[in-house]
Amino acid sequence: MRINATQIADHNKRRLETHRDNYGHLQEQLSKKGLSADAITRQLQELQIAIPSWALGAGGTRFGRFSVGGEPGSLEQKIDDVGLLHALTRSAGAVSLHIPWDIPENVQAIRERAAAHGIAFDAVNSNTFQDQAEQEHSYKYGSLCHVDGTVREQAIRHNLEVIRIGSQLGSKSITVWLADGASFPGQNNLRGALQRTLDSLKTIYRHLPEDWKMYVEYKPYEPNFYSTVIQDWGTSYLLATECGDKAYTLVDLGHHLPNTNIEQIVATLMMKGKLGGFHFNDSKYGDDDLTVGCIKPYQLFLIFNELVYGMQNNTANNPALAWMIDASHNVKDPLEDLIQSLEAIRLAYAQALLVDNQALEEAQAGNDATRAQEILQDAFRTDVRPLLREARLQSGGGLEPLALYRNLEVRKNLIRERGAKTVATGL
């Protein structure tokens, strides 16, 4: 299934008048505040979010998995699905592959397929949190932290292989997330496990191509329930700092204990120029991997507010960030869910771009907490959806991507092409 320009143009034509009214009205409102709707629209057009190759099928929990039908059964089909998302939204211009789930058989063909959809290859992800069939040593008791050097060497070799495959595709970064840890007190020597992890990461880092980055992702618990070796941003920061200039911390929104102030973590890391990337999702309790913005949109806005501040005041030379959705879809159609997530991310970004930073600084200097809250919430409560629609319209996407997706009966078409019982590879 491909979505063509005529289908998008037909859809947009029917909604154009209403959109013009809404955009014009917002343009006027914003200009009274000294803001240019057109400038914000251009910034929105530039924000591209990577889609992870594992999010295109139904996820599941340890209790069960319910297929949605028409799931991509190969890397080619996964890239086609990201192509559909990008055609509809013009904001999903990258894919993030998971190795070994998505090893390309024909690199050139995969590159061409992605290029035809306008999709780049973002960070590649290694996997030492589960055993593969052909694997010699088990990761049951850890990978880069393992007490046995031969297991660590195998895990290091895997990461180098991921870098090699990523290089062939044009990726420029690797994300390392480790499940390493202990489920029981006493199981691991905590300091020893961290030291071995650092040594292993340093070995991987030494093999990193000159123009590559390494992202170190953290998570407080799960699958281990007593300790995780890279449990928090501080541990990740320590490891990245010891590895070198090309290593950064990666923040996954779901990888925090309840009520953690994630925007403050963003501010701290950007102050040190060590924030490398973001994995977006939302949660009520733990690493729920729900649709971005479905539970805590205000928190997402506050995070973006710090990101925008950090980008506009980039004194520590923080690099351009790698943005990716890292969610799992148990109930909704994954593609619909991803369209909603893309929308939520851009909404939060647009709202953050509206914040009157000068007024906020004055309020802060005067210790006026009431005024500071008003300034933030004025931006948050502005309906910025016309800006997102305008950005899509100008980029050749759909004014209402979700409605268009449903009108074109995309899922029904995918089921017809691929079958009702397909299961996405890797999950």
Question: Which of 355, 357, 270, 282 has its CA nearest to residue 315?
Answer: 270
Site size with Mn ion, rule: CB under 5 A: 3
Question: Any contact of residue 326 with Mn ion (CB under 5 A)?
Answer: yes
> Which DSSP state fits 245?
T
Contact 131, 112 (CB under 8 A): no
Closest to Mn ion by CB, 23 or 280: 280
Distance CA(259)–CA(297), nearest Å, equals 14
Closest to Mn ion by CB, 306 or 326: 326
Contact 31, 392 (CB under 8 A): no
Closest to Mn ion by CB, 75 or 250: 250
Give the dihedral sign, CA 245/215/121/132: positive
Q: Which CA distances in Å does 286 have to 59, 257, 298, 416?
A: 16, 7, 18, 36
Closest to Mn ion by CB, 252 or 337: 252
Binding piece for Mn ion, criterion CB under 5 A, among 36-44, 52-60, 201-209, 320-328: 320-328
Cis geometry, peptide bond prior to residue 100 (ω within 30 degrees of 0)? yes
**Pattern 168-197, Mn ion, x by CB under 5 A:** ------------------------------
> Which DSSP state fits 53?
G
Closest to Mn ion by CB, 78 or 279: 279
Closest to Mn ion by CB, 44 or 327: 327
Distance CA(100)–CA(175), nearest Å, equals 14
Question: Any contact of residue 256 with Mn ion (CB under 5 A)?
Answer: no
* C-alpha atoms less than 13 angstroms from C-alpha of 216 in its C-beta half-sphere: 31
**CA 395 to chain CA mean position, Å:** 21
Question: Any contact of residue 122 with Mn ion (CB under 5 A)?
Answer: no
Cα-based angle 319, 339, 77 (whole degrees, multiple of 5): 90
Q: Minimum CB separation from Mn ion for residue 289, in Å? A: 9
Q: Minimum CB separation from Mn ion for residue 45, in Å? A: 26
Closest to Mn ion by CB, 78 or 255: 255
Q: Minimum CB separation from Mn ion for residue 137, in Å? A: 25
Binding piece for Mn ion, criterion CB under 5 A, among 33-41, 275-283, 333-341, 405-413: 275-283
- Non-local (6+) Cβ contacts of 310 within 8 A are 266, 267, 270, 271, 275, 318
Closest to Mn ion by CB, 326 or 337: 326
Q: Minimum CB separation from Mn ion for residue 163, in Å? A: 18
Binding piece for Mn ion, criterion CB under 5 A, among 119-127, 132-140, 321-329, 378-386: 321-329
Binding piece for Mn ion, criterion CB under 5 A, among 112-120, 183-191, 244-252, 329-337: 244-252
Q: Minimum CB separation from Mn ion for residue 177, in Å? A: 6
**CA 34 to chain CA mean position, Å:** 32
Question: Which of 212, 211, 264, 214 has its CA nearest to residue 234?
Answer: 264
Q: Where are the alpha helices (DSSP H) in 63-214?
A: 75-89, 107-117, 149-169, 190-206
Q: Minimum CB separation from Mn ion for residue 349, in Å? A: 19
Question: Which of 308, 320, 314, 323 has its CA nearest to residue 376?
Answer: 308
Binding piece for Mn ion, criterion CB under 5 A, among 15-23, 143-151, 262-270, 271-279: 271-279
Q: Minimum CB separation from Mn ion for residue 397, in Å? A: 26
Question: Any contact of residue 252 with Mn ion (CB under 5 A)?
Answer: yes
Closest to Mn ion by CB, 299 or 328: 328
Binding piece for Mn ion, criterion CB under 5 A, among 28-36, 195-203, 246-254, 310-318: 246-254
Question: Any contact of residue 287 with Mn ion (CB under 5 A)?
Answer: no
Helix (H) / strand (E) element for 221: namely: none
86, 274, 279, 346: which one contacts Mn ion (CB under 5 A)? 279
Looking up tokens 């890292």, which residue turns up?
Answer: 326
- Interface contacts to Mn ion, rule CB under 5 A: 252, 279, 326
